Structure 1
Amino acid sequence: MAKELTHFINGEHVAGASGRFGDVMNPNTGEVTGRTPLASAAEMDKAVQAAAAAFPGWAATNPQRRARVMFNFKRLLEDNMDELAELLSAEHGKVIADSKGDVQRGLEVIEFACGIPHLQKGEFTEGAGPGIDMYSMRQPLGVVAGITPFNFPAMIPMWMFGVAIACGNSFICKPSEKDPSVPIRLAELFMEAGAPAGVLNVVNGDKEAVDAILAHPQIPAVSFVGSSDIAQYVYATGAAHGKRVQAMGGAKNHAIIMPDADMDQVVNDLIGAGYGSAGERCMAISVAVPVGEETADRLVAALKPRVEGLKVGLSTEPDSDYGPVVSKAHLEKVQGYIDLGLKEGAELVVDGRGFSLQGYENGYFMGGSLFDKVTPDMKIYNDEIFGPVLSVVRTKTFEEAAALPTKHQYGNGVAIYTRDGDAARSFASQVQVGMVGINVPIPVPLAYHTFGGWKRSAFGDTNQHGTEGVKFWTKVKTVTSRWPSGVKEGASFVIPTME
């Protein structure tokens, strides 16, 4: 029987009141396992008011005490890792090991947020002028919100609320309606860690809930991760309502393979980065760009048996390389792109469309697919497929290969494989992409650096986590202070200067 899911508002589970629900599926079986409420604007406002009531006390809590809550939360994440991973896999479909990685990468941002007493320090200048000192402070914004995607239901909420709450804000999380159980569980653990009620709220919903966040006058800042079209909508709508917005969109991440690259490493990395999590990662490598025909022939010959040998299975099976995609609609979408690639003239080296898992024929499984001789004018090259599909685009020169990610509409991540330090350095410096890997397939920065793409992969000026995250979730106040020993007579009508 499908379980009835709830919102989490003001430290309590709250039943949905809108009368609208969405089905939560187990992608392994195609069965409905839960019903999640889809919030109305009135329900969103209830969460905002709870967060607004909690904000003054939390903002006034000194940074050390806020950090202690983060330390407690980190410990609880570690203690409950297995439970969180199993819950995540059951609704998303990624294998348990990958689900643990999802939780771990979020936990690392919580570790970073434990340093908030240092991170939130301002600046001080003694003697900026005669008897004048100047100092700045970073203060929280208030009630802030995050709109998170289905593909990382643990990591991305923690990327957002970990830094935001550590800075003294209260938070509304609107997770994907496809896999909402992990964000709810994270909120429960955050309360157990010592956070006051109302500091972290989870409100389930669809576009109506998103629009309620974007229009709400008490929410000054919103972070979003999802597709580029929706990211652009969130950015434009939020900005029109006077909000600070960071909106991360889609990707088409290239891997440039130079003739001198270690081909064994390249193939291993492409298999993991291209097909892990069924390709449902915004940092997945989906385009391999070998330089030279000989390099391309070697690459495709080495990739073909590895793709054919991928172990596609249940997300709970420890020997599965990857599990199902998230939904039937998404499975059909990915398969449709393979149909399109054939019509466009690409060579389908490995076809994953006919895959079916015995005993789980209703699950959303798909074998790995490999295209060769893809060209930049093809839709399968320009669009984000977001599935277990790798395209090979052959190039003649390094310059031709390096130009591809720079010209592409997306600019999230890119990698280059080479033993030539000069080529790697030149590429990293000149490529118009936000995150670069040198002999690294998925260049997701660690928590104390910052995550963000360029072009249609990101809208807004500030990246996620790291010190950029602290800047996004705070505002700067600068104080000019004078304590004169004597009072001078008369008024000055000239703008103050330091002369």
Structure 2
Amino acid sequence: MRWKDNGRFNEVYGKTLLGSHLINGTECRGELSFEVRNPAHAGDCVGNFPQASSEFIEQACRAAQGARASWQGLSEAERSLSFRHLADLLSGQQRFLAQLLARELGQAFPECLSEVQTWIDCAQRCARQERTSLLLPTEVREALQGVSLYLQESRAGMAVIPHLISNLYLGHPWVWLAPSALSATAYVLGRLFWQSGFPAGVCNLVLGADKDFSEYFPLYQQGLVQAFYLLGKADTLAKYSTLALPIQTLVLPEKPSVLVLRVETPFHRALETSFKACFEKNNNRFLKLRRIFVPQSIALAFKQGFLKAIQSLKIGDPSLNHQVDFGPLRMADDLALYLKHLQAGKAEGAELIYGKGRLSRASKPEPFIGDPDAGNYVWPSLWDKVSPEMKFAQADLKGPAVALIEIENHEQALDYLQGSPFQLI
């Protein structure tokens, strides 16, 4: 891999990665390029990468078509050998990949390690020829025969990787059109696929693909791809579900979520379970506004305990400290929505008992790791005196926010949830 000087950030974050499209065993760059910046510190240039173009995408699809017959002609036992190498390479590079994820996406380092482990586990299952553990039913994947084109929203993060591994095991070459925001990790992973011994043309990567998914559908009519895998939010993917195309939608778990506590649940268990449900997936992909229905009999003690727990969260730059629990919001749009939601809650009469909106050098929790003015950092927010009818409590929000809703009993909560958009967790 090639790197270039990153100025004063060399010692703090590392050098700037110079990436390429990976097509038919060759690294390709065009005239147009873009930079990926660290969401925890905009001054850090994570990498410089070539922009996607129709020429590169068509070239990648033709390469996959050329490799299709020979790859599908191998037995699963023969294909499994490459997955053993892939699992070994991923294991050897696990910490490096986790550090790159933390730098590129602003995710907490422990969660990055855990995510890379899911890739390792998937590769190991394929190496052991365990069809039963593939993410989609085998009959679904086998119905989508041929070259697969993977398209995704940026907020999907690296959820695509286990699908790429599983589909490859079943004999389907692919072209992965990675969005700009994920280019550094995608490029490094693409190189690891190559180094694992997969034949040229079986795995192809084109970076900087940020167009609407429909822009790529003509590739099917041209005979360049036989199946599409789309990753994103349900409302984004819904418009594609009725098209007469071989499309498999992979929906992210983005529905609003509710946790209902029972009166008979031991207090400490209720507190621990609730806090984990709200903050154990804080990697900017899963975290949503959580609504917790709390029985009145434990409401005061629960609120005090939850407040103490939320105050213990370590917020900051995950690249600078691997103990950080919550990093920056990845996108500026998420920050704007978070601040708008904060004002809406106050306007409707909910009580904000913890949180102050955007973090800054003048307004930050202690200790804070990093520079709060350099990224899209926010205070976690804890709301009290919330009713289910409040519009802000029904909104889909990206960010670390929790709303407490008092109830008399479990049945009352279920009555509230009848016909609501909430998803129980």
| TM-score tier after normalising by the smaller chain length | 0.7 to 0.9
Q: Which amino acid aligns with 1:366?
A: V
Distance 2:143 2:335 in 1: 45
**2:71 alignment counterpart:** 58
Q: Over aligned residue pairs, what C-alpha RMSD do you find?
A: 2.7
Instruction: Look up the SS of the partner of 1:393 in the other structure.
Output: strand
Instruction: Look up the SS of the partner of 1:255 in the other structure.
Output: strand
- How far the C-alpha of 1:406 sits from its partner, in A, is 6.2
**1:225 alignment counterpart:** 231
What fraction of aligned residue pairs are identical, expressed as a percent?
Answer: 20
Instruction: Note if contact 2:261-2:295 (Cα within 8 Å) is conserved in structure 1.
Output: no
Instruction: Look up the SS of the partner of 2:406 in the other structure.
Output: coil
Give the number of the structure whose alpha-carbon radius of gyration is greater: 1
Distance 1:367 1:276 in 2: 16
Q: Which amino acid aligns with 2:386?
A: V
- How far the C-alpha of 1:98 sits from its partner, in A, is 1.4
**1:245 alignment counterpart:** 248
Q: Does 1:192 align with 2:206?
A: no
Instruction: Note if contact 1:289-1:395 (Cα within 8 Å) is conserved in structure 2.
Output: no
- How far the C-alpha of 1:117 sits from its partner, in A, is 6.6
**2:29 alignment counterpart:** 15
- How far the C-alpha of 1:144 sits from its partner, in A, is 0.8
- How far the C-alpha of 1:60 sits from its partner, in A, is 0.7
Q: Which amino acid aligns with 2:192?
A: L
Instruction: Look up the SS of the partner of 1:314 in the other structure.
Output: coil
**1:143 alignment counterpart:** 147
In the superposition, the TM-score normalised over structure 2's length comes to 0.82
Change in 2 beyond 3 A, CA 1:88/1:349: same
Q: Which amino acid aligns with 2:179?
A: S
Q: Which amino acid aligns with 1:92?
A: L
The correspondence of residues 80-91 of structure 1 with structure 2, limited to 5 A, is: 80-91=93-104
Give runs of ≥4 in structure 1 deviating > 6 Å. Answer: none
The correspondence of residues 217-296 of structure 1 with structure 2, limited to 5 A, is: 217=220, 218-233=224-239, 235-236=240-241, 239-249=242-252, 250-276=254-280, 278=282, 280-282=284-286, 284=287, 286-296=289-299
Instruction: Look up the SS of the partner of 2:162 in the other structure.
Output: helix
**1:366 alignment counterpart:** 378
Change in 2 beyond 3 A, CA 1:52/1:3: same
Q: Does 1:381 align with 2:397?
A: no
Q: Which amino acid aligns with 2:20?
A: T
**1:488 alignment counterpart:** none
Distance 2:150 2:289 in 1: 27
Instruction: Note if contact 1:172-1:202 (Cα within 8 Å) is conserved in structure 2.
Output: yes
- How far the C-alpha of 1:93 sits from its partner, in A, is 0.8
Q: Does 1:340 align with 2:352?
A: no
Change in 2 beyond 3 A, CA 1:402/1:112: farther
Distance 1:47 1:367 in 2: 43
Distance 1:377 1:215 in 2: 45
- How far the C-alpha of 1:378 sits from its partner, in A, is 3.3
Change in 2 beyond 3 A, CA 1:242/1:297: same
Instruction: Look up the SS of the partner of 2:120 in the other structure.
Output: helix
The match for 1:203 among 206, 230, 241 is 206
**2:118 alignment counterpart:** 105
**1:69 alignment counterpart:** 82
Instruction: Note if contact 1:39-1:209 (Cα within 8 Å) is conserved in structure 2.
Output: no
Instruction: Note if contact 1:22-1:35 (Cα within 8 Å) is conserved in structure 2.
Output: yes
Q: Does 1:328 align with 2:364?
A: no
The correspondence of residues 460-471 of structure 1 with structure 2, limited to 5 A, is: none
Instruction: Note if contact 1:287-1:390 (Cα within 8 Å) is conserved in structure 2.
Output: yes
Instruction: Note if contact 2:190-2:203 (Cα within 8 Å) is conserved in structure 1.
Output: yes
Instruction: Note if contact 2:359-2:372 (Cα within 8 Å) is conserved in structure 1.
Output: no
Q: Deviations over 1:410-437 (max 9, x none)?
A: 65xx33xxxxxxxxxxxxxxxxxxxxxx
In the superposition, the TM-score normalised over structure 1's length comes to 0.71
Change in 2 beyond 3 A, CA 1:3/1:305: same
Instruction: Look up the SS of the partner of 1:394 in the other structure.
Output: strand
Distance 2:163 2:315 in 1: 32
The match for 1:78 among 88, 91, 97 is 91
Q: Which moved more, 1:160-169 or 1:340-349?
A: 340-349
Distance 1:90 1:106 in 2: 19
Distance 2:202 2:392 in 1: 43
- How far the C-alpha of 1:109 sits from its partner, in A, is 2.5
Change in 2 beyond 3 A, CA 1:338/1:265: same
Distance 1:209 1:79 in 2: 36
Unaligned runs of at least 5 residues, structure 1: 121-136, 416-499
- How far the C-alpha of 1:22 sits from its partner, in A, is 4.4
Q: Which moved more, 1:182-191 or 1:375-384?
A: 375-384
Instruction: Note if contact 2:22-2:190 (Cα within 8 Å) is conserved in structure 1.
Output: yes
Q: Does 1:307 align with 2:310?
A: yes
Distance 2:328 2:131 in 1: 43
- How far the C-alpha of 1:403 sits from its partner, in A, is 5.3
Instruction: Look up the SS of the partner of 1:386 in the other structure.
Output: coil
Distance 2:260 2:354 in 1: 21
**1:49 alignment counterpart:** 62
Distance 1:393 1:410 in 2: 14
Instruction: Look up the SS of the partner of 2:386 in the other structure.
Output: coil
Instruction: Look up the SS of the partner of 1:240 in the other structure.
Output: coil
Instruction: Note if contact 2:99-2:109 (Cα within 8 Å) is conserved in structure 1.
Output: yes
Instruction: Note if contact 1:257-1:291 (Cα within 8 Å) is conserved in structure 2.
Output: yes
Distance 1:241 1:345 in 2: 48
Instruction: Look up the SS of the partner of 1:102 in the other structure.
Output: helix
Q: Deviations over 1:331-364 (max 9, x none)?
A: 2322222122222322212114142356442122
Distance 1:260 1:352 in 2: 34
Distance 1:172 1:148 in 2: 12
Distance 2:229 2:208 in 1: 16
Q: Which moved more, 1:269-278 or 1:101-110?
A: 269-278
Unaligned runs of at least 5 residues, structure 2: 1-5, 7-15, 134-140, 361-367
Instruction: Note if contact 2:104-2:185 (Cα within 8 Å) is conserved in structure 1.
Output: no
Change in 2 beyond 3 A, CA 1:370/1:165: same
Q: Which amino acid aligns with 1:199?
A: V
